[in-house]
Each structure stands twice: as C-alpha cells, then as structure tokens.
Amino acid sequence: MNDAFSLSGEVAIVTGATGLLGPMWAEALLEAGAVVAGLDLPAARPSAAWAALEQGHADRLFRTECDITDRTSIERAVAAVLERLGEPTVLVNNAGVDQPPDAAGRRSPIDQLPVEQFQRMVDVNLVGTFQMTQVVGGRMVARGRGSIINVGSLYASVSPDQRFYDHLPGDVPFLKSPAYGASKAAVVNMTKYFATLWGAAGVRVNTLSPGGVEAAQDAAFKRKFAARVPLGRMAAPADLKGPLVFLASRASAYVTGHELRVEGGFTAW
C-alpha cells in the first residue's frame, strides 16, 4: 500500500504557498516524494515555515511569483515551473482570501458591507481557482494524467456561527463575510464540473475542505470553536497532510468530484 501513496516522480504546484497552510501542503508533498513549486503574490512575505522548508529542500522546492487573478501572471509562473521542474501532475489550488476577525477598522453592518470586499473574495477564491485550473489542468488533459485538489472550507457546507466572535470588542460587531462561504461552496461545485469534464481524460479533481486550523486566534474563539467540534479541538496543520497525499496520489485513483471534509466532524453536528 505504501507505494500507492508515493508521489515520487510527481511535479506539484501549490498556490498561495507561503502563508499559513501552504508550507504544510508543500511539506506533505515533499515527504511523499514529489518536487514542488510554490506560487504566491510578488508582495507576499514568506512565512518562517516556508523559509525553513526552502532551506531543508533546496533541491526539490522552488518558489515563483504568481497572482492567480491574472492570466498572464499564471502563464508566466507555469512557464517557470516547466523550465525548472517539468510538466505539473498535481495542482493544489490553495490561494485564498478570508477576512481576519481582528480587522476592527473595516467592520461594517451587513447592509453596508462593501460590494468590493465581496467581489475580491469571489475573484481570488473562485475565479482565481478557475484560471489556475484552466491553465494547469489543460496541460494535464493534454498528457492524460493529473490530480487537482481545490482547497475548500467547512463554510462551503455550513454558515459560520457568528457567536464565535461575539466576545470581540468594538462598536460594530464582527461578522464573517457571506462571500467567503459562498465562494468556497462555488469551488465545491466547480470541482464537480471539472471532475466530470476531465474524468475520461485521466485528470481527477477533488475538494479538500479543512475545518478551522489552530493558529493565532484568541483563546475565547478557540474554546468556543473546539466545543462545537465532535473531536473536541481545532485542526492542527498536520491533520491535513494525510488527506492531501491521499487525494494527490494513486491511493485515490477511483475518487473524483469528491469533497473530503477534514473538520473533526463539525458538519456532522
């Protein structure tokens, strides 16, 4: 069985690679034997986790600039990947934007939510994922092989519980944007579109939907969130590695169009 999970010989692309989850996806792919290209915005400042990964895997990890909302930028990045690593066989559409709950200055009541903020989330999370899929998936189809993993969210399935945030100070209560879950739900549907369009061409397309990953959230948020999870805790980044390698590898050869929720049972309640 171990061979079925091996990614030896695979060329993987991870978008939004230098943020919180990107280095963890890249590490999982490297550990399974792939060579990995990390794509992120020119202005993105790589996290310490990404820098450490680059140091440890200089021979198999490479980073290049890419704005997934810009087709020209995507084509330039993919050309750089082709030159450095070869034809991509795994694509992890991870780049995304959310709205951090500490953005007190930018809070608005729902009837005043700037439409630009809504559109930006859709542009990156949905349209950006679409454009990456067009460019990289198109190459996979031409070669008859590939696995695309779109990073969704538990909020693709359920609405955020706004009570997780009601302890935060401020005159205007923090509201998690309706655009986030809407854009991720659309990604789940688009996954099915490409899975069916490209199944016969040997390209599989699945969604991996993480639950809340423990990071720098405040203690009250973490407590409320964990109490809502059947497994009793937020996700650790490492909880997501096995599911990613499963979807990327031959171990999931007969799985396509699926949404794999890795959220400790959150949506079962």
Residues acting as catalytic residues: 180
Cβ proximity to ligand NAD, 146 vs 237, nearer residue: 237
**CB of 39 vs ligand NAD, minimal distance in Å:** 6
| Strand order across the 146-151 sheet | 61-65, 35-40, 11-15, 90-93, 146-151, 203-210, 259-262
**CB of 3 vs ligand NAD, minimal distance in Å:** 29
Cβ proximity to ligand NAD, 27 vs 67, nearer residue: 67
Residue nearest to ligand NAD (CB): 19
Lookup: tokens for 250? 């031959």
**CB of 256 vs ligand NAD, minimal distance in Å:** 20
**CB of 254 vs ligand NAD, minimal distance in Å:** 26
Binding residues for ligand NAD (CB under 6 A): 15-16, 18-22, 40-41, 44, 66-69, 94-98, 124, 128, 151, 153, 210, 212-213
